[in-house]
A and B are shown apart, each in its own frame.
Chain A
Amino acid sequence: MSSRLELIGPQGLRTDGRRFNELRNMNCKPSVLSQADGSAYIEQGNTKCLAAVYGPREARTKAQVLHNRANINVEISLAPFSMEERKKRSKSDKRILEIASAVKQTFEPIIMTELYARSQIDIYLQILQFDGGTVQICINAATLAIIDAGIPMKDYVCACSAGCIDDEPVLDLNHLEESNTPELTVALLPKNDKITLLQMESRLHIDKFQQVMEMAAKGCKEIHTVLDKAVRENIKDLLKKSSI
């Protein structure tokens, strides 16, 4: 697979100066909003996302009531200025709905929904700036916000993408890379390596798949360490404040 664009420089560095197996710079902070029950802000490179979680609370409409567990509702909105070209996207944009549904399906088995029968959990995601890896940032942000809301879940869910440039597996693609190479997004439970989401939308040789997959899984583990650190810092702050 050779790409038209030079995605790897002569020194073996990528367009943004990273190595093959390097994640983008990642920043995250839970508990950032005043109204939501749980919230988080996260940035991975130039992709920035805010997440808010409301609930568990009474279901808004009768149709949404599930008698044995909580209903999870995911809504994603994209800021009009987040992309290269200004584009106002409606909430019913097919691509956005698909991502929302992927996020919902990822969290359904992980959140202990059976504890909150007949209620509803809302996850709202707002993408402020876009530079590739929408699915992964949505999942990571949602994980942080759910933990912040104190909703019981079996484990963290961490997502990461990986791709293949010139037969070499690379980690955490940015927008330029993801539009020119096959991209694989994986979400897994870092404690027992179970995969809860896997997406690939282009052609990749089966022999390469294993390597790319391992790369992505490694990325998820790294992301887990970052998220875990942020959560622990936050709870320490919280306990310090409440002990005064």
Chain B
Amino acid sequence: MNTKNIVTPGQRLGFAQDYVAGPGTYVRGNLLYASVVGMKRVSKQTAEGETLVLTVSREKQQSAIPEVCSLVSKVIRITPKEAVVSIMVVDNSPCKEDFQGIIRQQDVRATERDKVKIHESFRPGDIIRAEVISLGDARSYYLSTAKNELGVIYAQSIEGAAMIPISWQEMQCTKTKAIELRKCAKPF
């Protein structure tokens, strides 16, 4: 651990023309200053002539940010047209704070897309595996479960007991044996 890299707010970091000001820094005049306490980091140069990005942060690593890959999320609320979910885990690394995502009616399954009913696929509180298909609008990512291995992986019945999948679109309550409809994920 290099304590020399620790900087405090207001500390001068370098000239503004040498770096791009990343998070935790700001530019005043032609100088770059730190605005939070933390470790000073310079991005690795990837292309020739590219300006380096200087950031200050106290975390060892940045929080996971959704990109086009598979992830785990929880259903927050459903409407006839879409299910709103909060993204908790991206590619096996947990997010520091949850991101909002939307699964539209046409993205629930690959076949018979027009017959999909959201309330027969997801319920609030379900934990689902999904993948990002686009970065979506300003507020949420667009997600899809249109693959066999994607869909609900954990759900509770009305009774509050855990349910087990019995087919790709049905789950059974372990307590009352009642069957509820879900778009289940195929177990690995």
A residues contacting B by CB (< 8 A) are 112, 147, 150-156, 189-191, 228, 231-232, 235-236, 238-240, 242-243
A235–B9 CB distance below 8 A: no
**Most chain B Cβ neighbours within 10 Å, of A151, A228, A235:** A235
Closest to B59 in A: A242
A191 to B7, CA, bound (A): 13
Main secondary structure of the interface of B (DSSP, over half): loop
Which residues on the B side are within 8 Å of A154 (C-beta)? 9-10, 26, 28, 33, 35
Among B9, B24, B38, B60, contact of A155 (Cβ-Cβ < 8 Å): B9
A235–B6 CB distance below 8 A: yes
Closest to A189 in B: B10
A155 to B37, CA, bound (A): 10
- CB-contacts of B15-66 with A (<8 A): 24, 26, 28, 33, 35-39, 58-60
- B138 at interface (Cβ–Cβ under 8 A)? no
B1–A240 CB distance below 8 A: yes
- B8 at interface (Cβ–Cβ under 8 A)? yes
Number of A-B contacts (CB under 8 A): 61
A198 to B143, CA, bound (A): 54
B residues contacting A by CB (< 8 A) are 1, 3, 6, 8-12, 24, 26, 28, 33, 35-39, 58-60
A235–B37 CB distance below 8 A: yes
A8 to B1, CA, bound (A): 49
B8–A156 CB distance below 8 A: yes
A189 to B58, CA, bound (A): 23
A154 to B11, CA, bound (A): 9
* Additional A-B contacts beyond A147-B9, A236-B6, A242-B60 (5; CB < 8 A): A112-B26, A150-B38, A154-B33, A232-B8, A239-B39
Identify 30 residue pairs between A and B in the complex whose beta-carbon atoms are under 8 Å apart, listed by A's number.
Answer: A112-B35, A147-B8, A147-B9, A150-B58, A151-B36, A152-B9, A152-B26, A153-B9, A154-B26, A154-B28, A154-B33, A154-B35, A155-B9, A189-B10, A191-B10, A191-B11, A191-B12, A191-B33, A228-B8, A232-B8, A235-B37, A235-B38, A235-B58, A236-B3, A236-B6, A238-B58, A239-B1, A239-B58, A243-B1, A243-B60
A232 to B11, CA, bound (A): 12
Minimum Cβ distance to chain A for residue B181 (Å) = 35
Which residues on the A side are within 8 Å of B10 (C-beta)? 153-156, 189-191
Closest to A148 in B: B37
Among A190, A231, A243, contact of B37 (Cβ-Cβ < 8 Å): A231
